[in-house]
Every structure is written in structure tokens, then in C-alpha cells.
Structure 1
Amino acid sequence: MTCSIGFVLLSHREPRQLLRLVETLNRLYDDPPIACHHDFSQCALDVDAFPGNVRFVQPSIRTGWAKWSVVRAMLAALRLLYDHADPDWFVLLSGADYPIRNGASVRAELAALRADALIDFRQVGDTEQSARDRFGPRNPELGQFESDGNRRLKWSHYEGAELWFPIVRFNDAGRRVRPGRYTLHLPFATPFSPFARRFPCFYGDHWITANARVARLLLTPSAQHLRVQKHLSMRAIPEECYYQTVLCNEPGLTLVRDNHRYAQWNGGGAHPQTLTEADLGAIRASKAHFARKFAHDDPVLDRIDALLSA
């Protein structure tokens, strides 16, 4: 038994790296449907250089790190994917991700999986133990989400009250000016939250693998989902909250907390470290399907290609 897989890619730089990722996915997954949101405002890209199974969201959305625009870009690419194909599963990847498992084994694993999504999650307020007791084991590589500091930060981002002050930001050594916002975090919950006891807030790693049922849910938001969208559009790092909150509050879905992604966080920080050949042993030992993040020209990618071809 096997299944079909489509890919949703998010990119904003390094077109050569994105093309390499696409070519590797084509080789491993037999030219699957691929929908890509590339932020053309940040980096030019020649769409004609890409294979015919790749579609690009056009016009693209101007995205920013930790902004709601990242979620909008993902949903636009997901819609593009399912407007032109009907894969059983979709995989969300960044342009700096890379496959580390053979496509046939990933398809077989997903076909046999009695679940709707591989998604890292925990409820705001959970401890590591309470989340494990309630929802099962997590991806062992994502321990940074379990730190006390990260828990406080997530409560502040998603449920805490905030005051916003307009400021002016300078780019390009002061040659460009743009409006910005300074956020003051307050030590109490916002009275305008869309979350409630029967619709709690969840969060976790951005990168998910999910089936067509989940795709339909994300593409047909309910009134409650739209309230969450409005709330998170003014909050930091919404891409680590929106999918988790929607899926974890949907009756009847079965979710696996291990999202099968390999990353090295080394205890915290806003970004995982860039993987190199020194990480190859740990990458091979992991049960992950994909790893992140890689530099576009690192020789570790050639080593991974050789292992996947063996």
C-alpha cells in the first residue's frame, strides 16, 4: 500500500538551493506536485528554470520573519497545490530543508499511519510531562519548546496583553525608512483573546506533514478560525501557533506529535543551527524524513544524496 504526496515550499532567497531541493524531491518522489511560495520582493527567481511540476504563487506575498504573512504564504501555496492536484498527503518545507529518507519508505510509512498529521504541539500552560501524558511523545529534537523561557514567551506572544507604539525603522544604513511597531508585553492575559477553555491555544514547530483532510480544514476556515487569524495577525511567530490551534481543536483528528523533522537547536535561540558534515552521523541515526537547515553549497548535501542513492 502506498500514497501520493505533494509538497508546499516556502522560500525567500537562494534560488539555486530551492532548485536543488525540487530536483531531489522529483528524483525521490517521482515528480510529485509541488506548490511554492517564493517571496519575489526579497529575491528574484526565474520560474522557467524549474520543472513543469512546480507551480509558484503569483503574485507573491511580501513576507517577514515571524509575521502573519508567513502563514498567508503557506495557505496560498497549499491552495495552489490542491487546486491543481489531490495528493493524499502534503509536506511543508522551507527552501533550506532537505530530504534525508528515501521517498518510497516515507510513502509507505504515511500510508500505514493511522493519523491525520505529523505535527509538533503542546497546549499553552503545559509542562513537558503534562504534554507527554496527555498527547504522547514528541520529536526528541525539539526540546527548545520545553524550556521555561520558551513557555513564558509563547504565553506572552499568544495570550498575553500587549501595548503597541508606532516607531520608524531604518533600512540600508539609513537610506530607507519604513513604519514599525514597538510591542510592550504586559503581565496579564488579553481580554480580547479568541482562545477559551473549550478552544485552547496550542503551539509548536512550524513544519508539518498532514493529509488531505487537514488540507481541506485549513483551506475552509470556520468563524472561530477566522477569529484566531485576526488575533494572530497582530502577534509574533503566528506560524508556530495557528496550525496547532486549528488542528488540536478539531474533533476527530488523530495527531502524532513527532513531526519527523531533524534540527539542531542546542538549547534555544530563534533559529536552528546550520547543519554540516559534522552532523551527518546524527542525521543518519534519526528517524526523521527531512532535516533543516542547510547552507546552499554545503558538501553535506552531496553526502546525503549519496546515501539516498545507495
Structure 2
Amino acid sequence: MKKLKSYYLHVKHPHTMERKWIFPVAIASIISLFVLFLTTLTSSDGTPLLPLRRHYSFSSSTVAAASSIFVESKLKLVPVSTLPPPPRLAYLISGSAGDGLMLRRTLEALYHPNNQYVVHLDAESSADERVDLHNYVNSHVIFRRFENVRMITKANLVTYRGPTMVANTLHAAAILLKEGGDWDWFINLSASDYPLVTQDDLLHTFSNLPRDLNFIDHTSDIGWKEFQRAKPVIIDPGLYMTKKTDVFWITQRRSVPTAFKLFTGSAWMALSRSFVDYCIWGWDNLPRTVLMYYANFLSSPEGYFHTVICNAPEFHNTTVNSDLHFISWDNPPKQHPHYLALDDMQRMVDSNAPFARKFHHDDPVLDKIDAELLFRGPGMLVPGGWCIGSSENGTDPCSVVGNTTVLRPTAGAKRLKSLTNHLLSNENFRPRQCK
């Protein structure tokens, strides 16, 4: 009966019954906190003022054994690197009939495992030449290992004077966006181009640059091109024919556009991934509108990307006014570059440019560039920090692959650094953007 009454009182007046325990619990909590506080106090030499006595002790052998069992005593903090990771580049290397072997040589001189590559021989090249390039890409041990070289097997017909070159460039960019993984800059080159620095030099220098920069030679002072290119209307048979023929003109002329401002410049450029993505997707329709206009524009590769980037508010402040090339032009109007030879070697080096054009196939100056600037043996890849094999007796050091993020820059990195410092200086960067 007493138990039943107690239970009833507890159910009827639960708070009254619980109050009896509040005071003892509060006192015990305060005492525990006070004791814990005393154990944390230390003297000036770091010894505890109120040490807690253990009821057991370790011998020296026991401590040593414990240290060998638990890994925490061996862990050390790894310092976090403040260096930015090396960028990744995406290349388009294009050629036409007879360019197969030169394209291979340019690809070998530009190769790095962390980059991405699209190679293209246009429809004017023979089927045998394209098959040879395809077999070379698929059978190369390093290319197969890293799977970063792709060939456009359904060849496009490309004419420099019409819009087909722009279409081919956008085609390669779309492939690289879809299949190329992460990369930072898109660089378009031809089989007549050749590097003057190693990829380690280029990646090392670009590691310290903002990834949104666009290297594109441009100007709005189109001069004589207004009357000879902007106002005439041309048709490029390469858009609908299977054989390459020259463009032809429509008798009617058009006025200069007012919806956007025309820009012109070099057809060779290094574009940021964000801008290439914008050109492909064109979320505000400007890239498509400009592309339709340049479909009837003579030598559209010298104006399409330039006009898009300088009329896009999101990108016009990202331009660096340079195509990163050494080119020996003819007399004005600078439309036909001279072929480079041994006599031009010193001028190429002094330009600090990472690329040069144009070269004849297998010109002796290419061998000199390989030997003195790229340190590359015949038929080999350009060695970098990722190549850890021996180079004795003509062995390719890149046949043995190490850490692909390790860079081993040469003197070319200093030259390229000097160029980028000049281009990004207060005198040359902002004042030359989209002017």
C-alpha cells in the first residue's frame, strides 16, 4: 500500500518529488567543476599544481611498446603549399594536304601528359595521310597511356579565307569541352607553327597568371579592311562543297554593323576556358549573331573571336593584346608571313614568344630549335619534369614516366616571364584592351 501511495504521489505531483534531488545534484556538479579547474592549473615551469595520481604506472619498455603500436606519435603535419597548381592546356593542331609529318613533329614538341590535344587534317588531305596520322596517335605508347590526344576522323574542309576555319576551331573546342576534362586555356596552332619553349616553361609561367586571361591580338582600327572585308559579301563554297575552291563575291555590299563593333587581329590565340565555353553555349546569343555575320566575311578567323570578346561585357576586360607568336611579316598590309629560317633564330629567341610561324617542313632551323631550346632528340617528346628515364646513348627520357605535376623549367621560362610581365604592365595591359 505504501508503495502504491508513493507511486500515486509521484504521478500526481511529479515536480514536487523531483525537487528533493535538485539541491544535492547541483552541489555535486559545482564540486566536480571546481576539482577539474584545479587540475588544469600549472606552475611557471609547466608542472601541474594539483596532479591527479594514477593508480598504475608505465615502465620505459611499456611506453616504447605503446609508441610503436599507436601511429599518432609518428604523425607530422605536412606543410600546405602556397604555390598554385600547374594549369592544363588544350591544343588544336590543324593541317592540310601534305602536313601530316609536320603535324606529328609539332605535336611531339608540344606534348605534356596533363594537357589535352585535338589534331585535324582537313578534307583536302588524302585518306592515306589521315590514316597514317590516326595510326600514329593510336599506337604511340605515351599517347595511349594518358589518352589525351584525339583526332578528328571525319575531316572538315577548311579554307582560311572563309568561315570554315572558325567552324573547325569551334568544333575542336566543343570536343575538348565535352571530352577533355579540366583545362584552363585553349590554344589553336597549325602544322606550320612550332614552340620556342618547353611545355614545362609554359606551364610554369602560366601557373602564376589569372586563369581568366585571354591572349588575343586585336584592334578596332580596321582601316582598309572596312572596305575590302567588312562591306563586301562573300560566299565560301567550303560550307557546302566537298572540294576546296576560292570564295566568290556578291555584287551587293553591306554597311558596317551597328549592333556590335568590329575588331580584327591575329588568327592565333590562347583563350580561357570560360570564354570558350561562352562561345560554344552563347547564353546571350552574341556569339551566334556574330558568327552568322562572319559567315560572309573575308578571312573571318582574323575577326570573329576578337569581335565577340570585345563586345561581351563579361570578357572585354580579360584581353591581353598579344597572340604569343613571333611572326616575320611582309611589308604592309601584313597578310603574308615570311617562312622562318636559321637567320631568324636569334630574333625568335629575343622576342621571348612561346611560339613562332611559319616554317617549311623539316627546315634546319627546326633542328636547331629542338637542340638548343627544347632539348629534344629526333622523333622524341620534349623532356620535362615528368620524364625520369635515362637519356644516355640516345634513349628517350620520356619513355619512363614519373610525377606528371613536377615541372622542370629551363631558360625559356625566364624569357616567357619577361614577356608576360611586359604584356601585363600598367603601360600595356589596360590601355590596350579592346581599343
Give the TM bin, normalised by the shorter chain: 0.7 to 0.9
CA positional deviation for 1:158: 4.6
Task: Give the Cα separation in 1 of the matches to 2:296 and 2:366.
Answer: 37
**1:261 paired to 2:353:** no
> 1:120 deviation in Å?
0.1
User: Which residue pairs with 1:181 in the alignment?
Assistant: 248
Runs of 4+ more than 4 Å apart: 161-164, 176-180, 183-186
* Structure 2 Cα separation of the partners of residues 250 and 111 of structure 1: 26
Structure 2 residue ranges without an equivalent (≥5): 1-83, 238-242, 376-409, 411-435
Shift, 1:183, TM fit: 4.8
* Aligned counterpart for 1:290 among listed residues 355, 362, 371: 355
* Counterpart for residue 173 of structure 2: 78
Whether 2:178 is the aligned partner of 1:117: answer no
1:58 paired with 2:153, answer yes
Equivalent residue for 1:3?
87
Aligned to 2:204: 108
Q: Normalised by the size of structure 1, how large is the TM-score?
A: 0.78
- Shift in Å, 1:111: 2.5
The question of 1:41 aligning with 2:128 is answered no
Most deviating of 262-271 and 62-71: 262-271
User: Normalising to structure 2: TM-score of the pair?
Assistant: 0.57
Is the CA contact 2:92–2:117 (under 8 Å) kept in the aligned structure 1? Answer: yes
- What does 1:188-199 align with in structure 2 at a 5 Å threshold? 190-191=254-255, 195-196=257-258, 199=260
**Higher helix fraction (1 or 2):** 2
State the alpha-carbon separation in 1 of the partners of residues 308 and 271 from structure 2: 13
Letter paired with 1:107: L
Matched, 1:248 2:314: no
Match of 1:97 in 2: 193
Pick which of 155-164 and 260-269 moved more: 155-164
Matched positions, count: 266
CA 1:179–1:63 in structure 2 vs 1: closer, same or farther (change >3 Å)? closer
The 8 Å contact of residues 162 and 297 in structure 2, kept in 1 or not, is answered as yes
Task: Answer 1 or 2: higher relative contact order, Cα 8 Å, separation at least 6.
Answer: 1
Q: What is the distance in 2 between the residues matched to 1:54 and 1:292? A: 22
1:185 Cα deviation from its structure 2 partner: 7.9
Measure how far apart 1:177 and its partner are. Answer: 11
Deviation, structure 1 residue 203:
0.8
Q: Secondary structure at the match of 1:90?
A: strand
Paired AA for residue 113 in structure 1: L
Instruction: Answer 1 or 2: which has greater strand percent.
Output: 1
Q: Is the 8 A contact 2:330 2:336 kept in 1?
A: no
Cα offsets for 1:116-157 (capped at 9, x unmatched) = 2110000145xxxxxxxxxxxxxxxxxxxxxxxxx21x2124
Aligned residue identity for 1:121: H
Q: Percent identity?
A: 24
Q: CA deviation at 1:162?
A: 4.4
Compute the displacement of 1:163 (Å): 8.2
Per the alignment, do residues 184 and 296 of structure 1 end up closer, same or farther by CA in structure 2, a change over 3 Å counting?
same
How far 1:276 moved relative to its partner?
A: 0.6
Deviations 1:84-134 (A, max 9, x none): 112111211111100001222211222222352110000145xxxxxxxxx
Q: Which moved more, 1:13-22 or 1:116-125?
A: 116-125
Give the partner amino acid of 1:205.
Answer: S
Measure how far apart 1:76 and its partner are. Answer: 0.6
| Conserved? CA contact 2:161–2:247, under 8 Å | no
The alpha-carbon deviation at position 34 of structure 1 amounts to 0.3
Greater CA drift, 290-299 or 262-271: 262-271
Paired residue for 2:266, among 205, 211, 219? 205
Change (3 A) 1:74 1:304: same
Contact 2:186 2:272 in 1 (8 A): yes
Q: Distance in 2 between matches of 1:18 and 1:163?
A: 30
Letter in 2 for 1:40: A
Could you tell me which of 278, 285, 294 is aligned with 1:217?
278
- Of 69-78 and 114-123, the range deviating more from structure 2: 114-123
Larger radius of gyration: 2
Task: Say whether the 8 Å CA contact 1:124–1:155 is kept in structure 2.
Answer: no
Q: 1:278 and 1:4, CA in 2 relative to 1: closer, same or farther beyond 3 A?
A: same
Q: Which amino acid aligns with 1:5?
A: L
